[in-house]
Structure formats: C-alpha cells, structure tokens
Amino acid sequence: MRFFGLSRKPGGGEEPMTAAHEVLPKPSLLSMLSSDGGGAGLQRRVSQLFFLVVLTGITIATVCPQSLVQADPHRFATVPALAVSASDGKEIGAVHYIVIQLDRDPQRKGPTVLFSERSKGTAVDEEWKEGVRVAVSAAAATLGEDSRNWTITIKNRSYSNLTQGPSASSAVAIGIMAAARGETLRPGVALTGAITTDGGIDEVGGLPGKLEGAAMANMHTLLVPKGQARTEEWDLPQLGRLRNITVIEVGSLREAYELMTGKQR
C-alpha cells in the first residue's frame, strides 16, 4: 500500500476536471433546400447535406472521444465523524466531516492513500492515518474488491487544529465503501468506532460527549460498537431519548453499512 502523509492534487484542486466544447450553429435542412431552385439545385443541396452529416459525425467523434462520454471515474462520499475535546474537565462533542474521493487505478499499483492537509482543520495525526489504512483494507475485503485498483484521497474537515485517534476509522471505511459502490449515505446517521482488519468495529471512548455533539448537529441516529450502549459509566439509549437520538449497537461494517445506506453488503 502506498501511503502518503501529506499530499495534494496538482494545481491544489480536488475536483475532477471537465471539458467544455463550443458547438457552432449548423444550417437547417429547410434553409439549405430552399436556397436554390430546380432539380439540379436540390440534388446539389442534398449532396451537401450528406457531406455535412458525415462531417458532423466525424467532428462529434473527434471532440467527444469515448473517454468523455463514459461515466465519471471519480467517486465521492462525505461521511460524518464524531470527536470529543476536553474543556475545563468536561468532554465537548462535535461532528466533523470527512470527504473521500476514490479513483480507479488501471495499472493496479495501489492502494494509494493521499491526505489533503493544507488548510486549517484538516490535519490528522499518525494514529488517525493508520486507522485509514486499516479502513481501506477492511472496506475492500467487505466488498470483495481488489484495493490495488484504488487511489483514495482523504480530507478531514474539522474545527480542531489536529484530529487524533482511530475512532473515525469505521466511518472512513463506510465512506470508502459508498464511494466505491456509488451509493448515497443517509443523512442524520453517524458512526463511531475503531475499525479492525476483519471488518469489525472496536470500542472507543467519550461516547456521551459524542452523543451530545451528534445532537447539536441534528443527527437522529448514532451507531456505536457492540457492548458500548450501556456501561457502568453511561446509558446512551437513555441519553439519546433526551436528545431525540436513537442509539444502535453495531459489530461489523456490514451492519453499519446497511444502516447508513439502506443497502446490504
């Protein structure tokens, strides 16, 4: 796996380029046939029309090659992720968003992971990046795809100067799967948990604060690792009822993906 700690696409952009072409107006059939009288004129105009049709076909084939009319090879997904920070001894939760772009590599030299960290709020630590690496492998295994075909660009959008830890890695895996399949994530559903190599979702901390952050972001469903909805420290379903949030435990990417997309994998 090719793994880059700091990268950006050439020119600083992350959006795929599109081509635009000017189409000149063509004379109408009526004007061509009516511009000259008589059988000879009509025959000449029909010949000119045939030549114009052939020329137009050649022009379209030249200006719009097959590569431009095929489906866009870039696939995107934006997935919410939950984080907590400490302030005066209290955990403050927040939702940030991770933008994922997946490109296909016909040379199968991947998986390549690029991190866009140039702007404020996009920096992540090494543990976060390692979680992404595991997420790539787990997502590919769950989908039954060859990750060598993938080039993945990750951009974290957070209010924090530096995002740390692996707790967003399961959400990243879901985003990668959605981008690979071209499927849409349901709004208002957030997932927290550390991804494992076999596609499991492992325990994380700070869940009460994360639930509060989800409520502030108008989320209606919070997915948490198995066994963490109720512990000796908290009762998330009870807290969720006070915040109009449904708390659901999930143990695998397959479970989480179905709840976040409505699609089975």
CA neighbours closer than 13 Å in the CB half-sphere of residue 133 = 12
Per-residue pLDDT at 265 = 72
Question: 24: which 2 tokens?
Answer: 């000149």
Q: Which three-class secondary structure state does DSSP give residue 246?
A: strand
pLDDT of 91 reads: 86
Contacts 24+ apart (CB under 8 A), 144-148: 145/180, 146/108, 147/1, 147/110, 147/111, 148/105, 148/108, 148/109, 148/110, 148/111
Per-residue pLDDT at 105: 87
Any alpha helices (H) in 64-148, and if so which ranges?
A: 66-69, 126-143
pLDDT of residue 74: 75
Q: What span, in angstroms and rounded, lies between the C-alpha atoms of 41 and 118?
A: 66
127 and 162 Cβ atoms separated by less than 8 Å: no
**Residue-level pLDDT, tens digit, the chain, 265 residues:** 655 554 444 444 444 433 333 344 444 444 444 444 455 554 555 455 554 444 444 343 334 443 333 445 679 999 999 999 887 778 899 999 999 999 998 888 899 999 998 877 789 999 999 999 999 999 999 999 999 999 999 999 988 888 999 999 999 999 999 999 999 999 999 999 999 999 999 999 999 999 999 999 999 999 999 999 999 999 999 999 999 999 999 999 999 999 999 987 7
pLDDT for res 1? 62
Cα gap 228→171, rounded to integer Å? 17
For residue 44, the model assigns a pLDDT of 57
